[in-house]
Structure 1
């Protein structure tokens, strides 16, 4: 893990950080609709919509510095890069977790993701993070459901790893969209950063 220590004396959000660190329920989830019309057009070229979404989420996370920040007690660190950890259905009928480092080049990312996810699907090992790493973002796809809101199971108020969920692709009058949710810890992330994340994900989806 490569990271820098955030100086709480000069960090503009230090007061908000200290405030929300005292909350018992400091997490909040925001759901919006993402336009995936361009992505569905690119599907005809052989692009995997699932791995394309993984890539766009990674691009969004790395566009917003606060989404790569984690606190450790009363200190805050800023990671240079976070690894995407997603749930993967296994051949045995359960699920495991894959760990895919983000790569800015889409072709390299897609090849890497396909290999790592395929290995977990065949292996059937859970590989859950037991707390030894915080340079992660947790991802989960719900392709069976066009949902309107969702939140995640969280171990407690000290968990500050962002969660991203996305749902079923839905066609309406020639336009395709899907629900996407970002769940964050308010000690690190405000609404402005959430908005910037969704804008960056949309831009990445449109540029594939």
Structure 2
């Protein structure tokens, strides 16, 4: 994945970055409510997976916000051209999940079909050859309404891979609402960036109604 090294002296966030770099655990988690009414209608009408579609939409929203495309390599900050999704999935009838990684591409429908095809064909738990620092980790707990979530991780403060997860959507006042959780590295991503991600995601979902 192509990337460009940032000049730390020209980076407006350099003091914030240095402040959180002194912490052993610079990670934090935010969960917010997302209206997925239009997304559910669109996927149902077009015979697409709601899960794969939301993975793609979140990936596109992340790539729109530069802070989500930052990574740490050898003590330096790099800007990625883009990130791609790596998500958990379950085969029908199985209780053992596997991790699927593939490029998001530029088309929601194509991604949903490619993701389903790759997930069905995958026999290993994970493709270690596809693992890199230019991913977004996704998971889903469709059995419960999600209000908060933490993620397992090695004690590596340079881990810059965003974690995104959600649970079951529920109906409230005629709208389908879903709790979506993000866990990010505060060395690179602030609350304002999470706000921009949420706005980008909401805008993409709302646009599905016009398709």
Is TM more than 0.5 here? Answer: yes
Other-structure match for 1:75: 76
Q: Is the 8 A contact 2:56 2:85 kept in 1?
A: no
Q: Quick one: distance in 2 between partners of 1:142 and 1:8?
A: 39
Q: Which residue of 1 aligns with 2:151?
A: 152
Distance 2:22 2:130 in 1: 21
Change (3 A) 1:132 1:168: closer
Does the Cα contact within 8 Å between 2:101 and 2:130 map onto a contact in 1? no
**Which residue in the other structure is 2:115 paired with?**
113
TM-score by length of 2: 0.90
Whole-angstrom CA distance in 2 between matches of 1:172 and 1:131: 39
Please say if residues 26 and 185 of structure 1, whose CA atoms lie closer than 8 Å, have aligned partners that are also in contact: yes
* 2:159 partner SS: coil
1:13 counterpart = 2:23: no
In 2, the alpha carbon distance for the partners of 1:81 and 1:119 equals: 26
Query: Higher mean Cα deviation, 150-159 or 25-34?
Result: 150-159
Q: Helix, strand or coil: the match of 2:197?
A: helix
Query: d(CA) in 2 for partners of 1:144 and 1:198?
Result: 23
Distance in 1 of aligned mates of 2:102 and 2:198: 21
TM-score, L = length of structure 1: 0.91
Q: For residue 126 of structure 1, what is the aligned residue in structure 2?
A: 125
2:87 aligned partner: 86
Compared CA separation, residues 131 and 118, structure 1 to 2 (3 A): closer
> How big is the shift at 1:132?
5.9
RMSD: 1.8
The 4+ residue runs of structure 1 with deviation greater than 3 A are 90-93, 128-132
CA deviations on 1:140-198 (whole Å, 9 max, x unpaired) are 01101102111111211232211000110101232111000111000000110010011
Deviations 1:84-104 (A, max 9, x none): 000112465312110021222
Alignment of 1:173-192 (within 5 A): 173-192=173-192
Q: 1:13 to 1:129 in 2, by over 3 A?
A: farther
Structure 2: runs of 5 or more not aligned: none
Whether 2:41 is the aligned partner of 1:41: answer yes
Change (3 A) 1:109 1:45: closer
The CA distance in 2 between the partners of 1:132 and 1:201, in whole Å, is 25
